[in-house]
A and B are shown apart, each in its own frame.
Chain A
Amino acid sequence: MSPTQQEISAEIAAQAAPTSGTAHPERRYPPYRSSLLRHPRQPLVPADDLKDPDAVELSGPVFGVTDVTELDADLTRQHHGEPLGERITVTGRVLDRDGRPVRGQLVEIWQANASGRYAHQRDQHSAPLDPNFTGVGRCLTDDQGRYRFTTVKPGAYPWRNHTNAWRPAHIHFSLFGTAFAQRLVTQMYFPGDPLFAYDPILRSVTDDAARQRLVAAYDHELSVPEWSLGYRWDVVLDGPAATWTEEGR
């Protein structure tokens, strides 16, 4: 039988204390049921202190103007008509742990439409599809590490982790650093969402301050009069940076 929200919330509360020194979720997080058979039980082999400068994970894939078109960063212009929903701009910087900008690197996003439905065959949520919105974007960071997307605010949507499970509105982000070891896939949330407390995926980040780093800030300066609302969200990539590639780029 599917657990109730009350049961899941009790599990979330029981897991609330950070269980490790890292910001990242433990891969075993029982309130998120799908994690149970999909996490390793053996300890990971440490590779953060490799003496081997030839480890290929210290360099990483590169992307360029051939891989992205100008229109890819505007998710509201990929069809003939305007998508439904609240038009927003999402921008920020991609940095490494030392605060250095990640330049010219690929940022990919995907999201549900304003009604909370993905343009994915397996998404059977009864909310309507929007013929004018696919929900996929990509861009390259600029010299300051900045990315920028125009899109619509995604809706919350139900899922089947437990009875009455709803995901807070979020945009999925995929980011590359200068090293493969800095790879990150994560989700950006919107400030003040009432669903935060109930969501085992967000709550899998058990450290309050770390969880806060997944929430964008509303930035009135970024809002464009009579056009769009602005959100700002910076991303800091974990893992060793590839210093040697930086000169080569």
Chain B
Amino acid sequence: MLPTPSQTVGPFYGYALPFPDGAAVAPLGRPGTVVFHGLVLDGEGAPIPDALLEFWQAAPDGGRQGRAGSMRRDHTTGGHAGRDGVTFTGFGRVATDADGSWSLHTLTPPAEAPYLAVCVFARGLLHHLFTRVYLPDARPDEVLRRIPAERRSTLFAREERPGVFGFDIRLQGAPHEETVFLDFA
């Protein structure tokens, strides 16, 4: 069957898609929690304040079946209840701040899939983009091997201090600066 075309997320998803605890993929206080953070930038290097990022990853034990409860609801008030503090769902959703920044608290992905899968949406972006945030010590896998050597570094997070990783997403730029995006369709 022929696919339904993509359309931009537009500027007004902010009251619909982000949810409390969207950035808190790791259960509260769980040991081994790490932080990924960075900027989303346009072709002039300007921060993009209306981008939405989604993250999906393997659990530390390698599991990728996922669990419900990312956007748990309060069935009395109809509001958002936040995550349950126990379940690792593997899914995060973060809208960029006014300065184009984002951050995500999660558990370190396992060595056999040492990356976060990312889906980028933004006003002005007609079709979402997939990329990956690799841990600095990730060994080359099939995807990395397909990427020209000089562009590979755009997919590696840099460890700023223990447990804190920086990663900027440049939607457009010089070949060695522009983030590598993946085509799954």
Contacts from A to B (Cβ < 8 Å): 22-27, 29, 32, 34-42, 44-48, 50-52, 54-57, 59-69, 71-72, 78, 95-99, 108-110, 112, 118-120, 122-123, 134-136, 172, 174, 180-181, 183-187, 201-202, 204-205, 209-211, 213-214, 234-240, 245, 248
Contacts and interface: CB of A to CB of B under 8 A. Distances in A.
B183 A56 contact: no
Interface string B49-69: 000001011100000111111
Given A24-B185, A47-B143, A38 B171 contact: yes
Contact of A214 (B5, B78, B126, B179): B5
Contacts of A36: 43, 124
Contact of A45 (B17, B65, B128, B146): B146
B3 A32 contact: no
Interface stretch (B29-37, B112-120, B156-164): B112-120
A183 B129 CA distance: 10
B26 interface: no
Nearest to A96: B1
Contact of B141 (A38, A44, A52, A239): A52
Residue among B67, B146, B184, B185 having the largest count of chain A Cβ atoms under 10 Å: B184
A59 B1 contact: no
Given A38-B125, A59-B64, A60-B66, A23 B3 contact: yes
A39 to B, nearest CB: 6
Interface string B1-27: 111111111111111110000000000
B181 A38 contact: no
Interface string B159-185: 000000000000111010011111111
Given A56-B117, A62-B66, A63-B68, A201 B175 contact: no
Interface in B118-137: 119, 121-130
Per CB-CB distance, the 10 closest pairs between chain A and chain B, nearest first, are: A64-B68, A34-B124, A110-B16, A61-B91, A238-B3, A181-B184, A38-B124, A37-B43, A44-B183, A25-B126
A25 B127 CA distance: 7
Contact of A120 (B12, B68, B121): B12
B182 A47 contact: yes
Contacts of A123: 12
Residue among A40, A122, A201, A205 having the largest count of chain B Cβ atoms under 10 Å: A40
Interface residues of B, dominant DSSP: loop
Given A38-B42, A67-B70, A238 B56 contact: no
B48 interface: yes
Contacts of B72: 66-67
Contact of A236 (B4, B180, B183): B4
Residue among B48, B119, B141, B185 having the largest count of chain A Cβ atoms under 10 Å: B185
Contacts of B89: 61-62
Interface in B64-90: 64-73, 75, 78, 89-90
A118 B113 CA distance: 40
A241 B128 CA distance: 17
Nearest to A33: B124
Given A48-B184, A245-B65, A56 B4 contact: no
13 contacts: A35-B125, A39-B126, A39-B171, A47-B183, A62-B65, A136-B16, A174-B13, A180-B119, A187-B7, A205-B7, A234-B4, A239-B184, A248-B65
A97 B125 contact: no
Contact of A183 (B7, B10, B54, B75): B54
